[in-house]
Amino acid sequence: MSFEVLKRAESVVVAVCDELNEGKAELLECKADKNIYYVFNGTVTLNFHCDFSNAKLEYRVSLIKGVSKKNVVCHGSFNASHQPTQDNNCRIVPAKSNVTFYLTGLVENDTDIYYLHKEHMAPPPYVERFDNGTIVHVKANGLRPPPPPPPPIIQDTEQSRWPMLAAVVVLAVYSFIITIALFYTLQKGRKTRILQSEYINVAPYRQPKHHQPYTPTPRHAQVR
């Protein structure tokens, strides 16, 4: 077999392996339910969504503690039968679309970031992936974090405008009524004062008598 044929065969094998690795890498992607867990009683349940539906593959999952990703808390291997495994204070329960880690006996010093390490062990090629990490914050019993403040209540502008408009209308009507009543009271009091202050003389007018000092006697009176 010539050297060129070997090179071509090698390139074909490498290409096939790359395609398999890319396809399996998509199946290896995992994501936790939460980015942070608060632990108060030393027990926590970490659930990761992954694909374990391929019955021909043997899987291995590990829970790694720390940024260096060197401290293995617990691990387990399984296939499509999804048999749970127990490792010290860690219980692993796999399913077709997720894997769950039950951790017990945690103390405050166990507060750290935890990673899921998923591996395809067999058949080859070997592929591994880490998730983005999940923070586990272990607190002493009774020390719960304060609840988050309630979200602000955002009222609709149209709905909040109607009560204000109604209040303005009521105040305007009330002011108008008060003004009319005050004006009527002032007018009535003014008329009463006018009637009480004016005097009308109803006696008939008589022209005063004038007395002349001397009046000559008429001529017809002298004849008599």
**pLDDT value at position 216?**
60
User: Which comes out higher in pLDDT, residue 134 or 189?
Assistant: 134
Least confident of 47-61, 181-195, 202-216: 202-216
Nearest to 31 by CA among 95, 93, 118: 118
Task: Give the CA dihedral 65, 70, 73, 74, nearest 10 degrees.
Answer: 130
Model confidence at 103: pLDDT above 70: yes
**What value does the mean pLDDT of the chain take?**
75
**Where exactly are the structural domains of the chain?**
26-138
Q: Are 28 and 120 in contact (CB under 8 A)?
A: yes
Nearest to 142 by CA among 105, 108, 102: 108
* Spatial separation of the C-alpha atoms in residues 154 and 101, rounded to whole Å: 41
pLDDT digits (tens, 9 = 90+) for 145-189: 556 666 666 555 566 678 888 888 988 988 889 999 888 888 877
β-pair partners for 140: none
b (16+ CB within 10 A) / e for 151-174? eeeeeeeeeeeeeeeeeeeeeeee
User: Which comes out higher in pLDDT, residue 74 or 147?
Assistant: 74
Enter the pTM of the model.
0.51
β-pair partners for 73: none
Average confidence (pLDDT) over 108-118: 93
The DSSP element (H or E) to which 220 belongs, if any, is: helix 219-223
Model confidence at 121: pLDDT above 80: yes
Report whether CATH 2.30.30.140 matches the domain 26-138.
Answer: no
Q: Are 76 and 87 in contact (CB under 8 A)?
A: yes
